[in-house]
Each structure stands twice: as C-alpha cells, then as structure tokens.
C-alpha cells in the first residue's frame, strides 16, 4: 500500500477480479467509501461491509462474477486510474468523456463530492477525473 489510496483500491479490486476472488479487503477512507458506494449502486459489486482490525477500518467487498456456458469465469469490469498525484486531470461538465458510448462510467471528484459522469452532467459541474470503469 502506497500513499495513493485510490490507486491502491482500484488495483486491489482489479487483481481480485482477475484472480476470481470472491472478496477483497481494502483500507477504509472517505474517498474509498464513496467510490465503493458508487460501485455498489452501479452494480459492479454485490455487497460491502465494514470490518475493524485493531485500530483500522477495512471495507470487505463481495465481487460479482459471471459464468460462461463452459463454466469459466469472465472478469466483469475494468478499472483504470486517470488522474494521478503527479498529473491531475480536470474537466468541465461538457468535456467529461463518455466511456463505451455511455456504457461505462467515469468517477469524478467535484465540489459537491464524488459522483459519476451522469450525475455531474445533470448537476452541470466538472471536477477531477479519478477513474474509468467499464
């Protein structure tokens, strides 16, 4: 775990999904809790519960998997970190990118809190582009 909690969260979820793990444990911060709420609301994960070990809180995510007819698992979603601590990317509401023609979502950090691209367009506010999910 490094100092960029968003990248750590995205990498942990992506690795657990690629290795077909059912659950993944990530460190709980305000930003990660808001991102996980968006993932839960959009249907990318099944369940979230808060877990405490010693003096730290963790979020335990239950991932959603899909089976093919042959019984093999496919990864449900892809995550990509866009704005990094070394290079922040900002966008106004008119220039927020559409992922797969609107099939994917963009998570933004705005003055109104962390929200999806659809919510930011409705509110007509821009912000920092945190990640893409498709």
Between 70 and 56, the more confident residue is 56
Q: Which of 1-5, 111-115, 124-128 has the lowest mean pLDDT?
A: 1-5
Domain holding 95, by residue range, is 79-133
- Mean pLDDT score, 105-132: 97
Whether 101 is in a domain gets the answer yes
Task: Note whether 80 and 99 are within 8 A (CB).
Answer: no
State the angle between helix axes of 30-42 and 5-18 in degrees (0 to 180), rounded to the nearest 10: 40
Nearest to 63 by CA among 108, 102, 25, 104: 25
Q: How far is the C-alpha of 45 from the C-alpha of 63, rounded, in Å? A: 5
Task: Note whether 96 and 90 are within 8 A (CB).
Answer: no
**What is the value of pTM for the model shown?**
0.89
Alpha helices, DSSP H only, in the chain? 5-18, 30-42, 117-123
Nearest to 115 by CA among 49, 45, 41, 26: 41
Between 18 and 115, the more confident residue is 115
How many domains, the chain?
2
CATH number at residue 37: 3.30.1370.30
Residue 1: pLDDT band with limits 50, 70, 90:
low
**58 and 11 in one domain?**
yes
CB atoms within 10 A of CB 123: 13
Whether 70 is in a domain gets the answer no
Helix, strand, coil distribution of the chain in percent, nearest 5: 30, 35, 30
């Amino acid at each position: 775990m490094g100092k960029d909690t968003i990248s750590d969260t995205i990498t942990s979820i992506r690795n657990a999904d690629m290795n077909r793990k059912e659950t993944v444990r990530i460190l709980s911060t305000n930003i990660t809790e808001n991102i996980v709420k968006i993932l839960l609301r959009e249907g990318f994960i099944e369940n979230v519960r808060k877990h405490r070990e010693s003096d730290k809180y963790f979020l335990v995510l239950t991932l959603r998997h899909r089976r093919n007819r042959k019984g093999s698992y496919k990864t449900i979603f892809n995550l990509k970190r866009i704005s990094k601590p070394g290079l922040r990317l900002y966008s106004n509401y008119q220039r927020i990118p559409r992922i797969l023609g609107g099939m994917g979502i963009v998570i933004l950090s705005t003055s109104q809190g962390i929200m999806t691209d659809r919510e930011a367009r409705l509110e007509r506010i821009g912000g920092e582009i945190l990640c893409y999910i498709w």
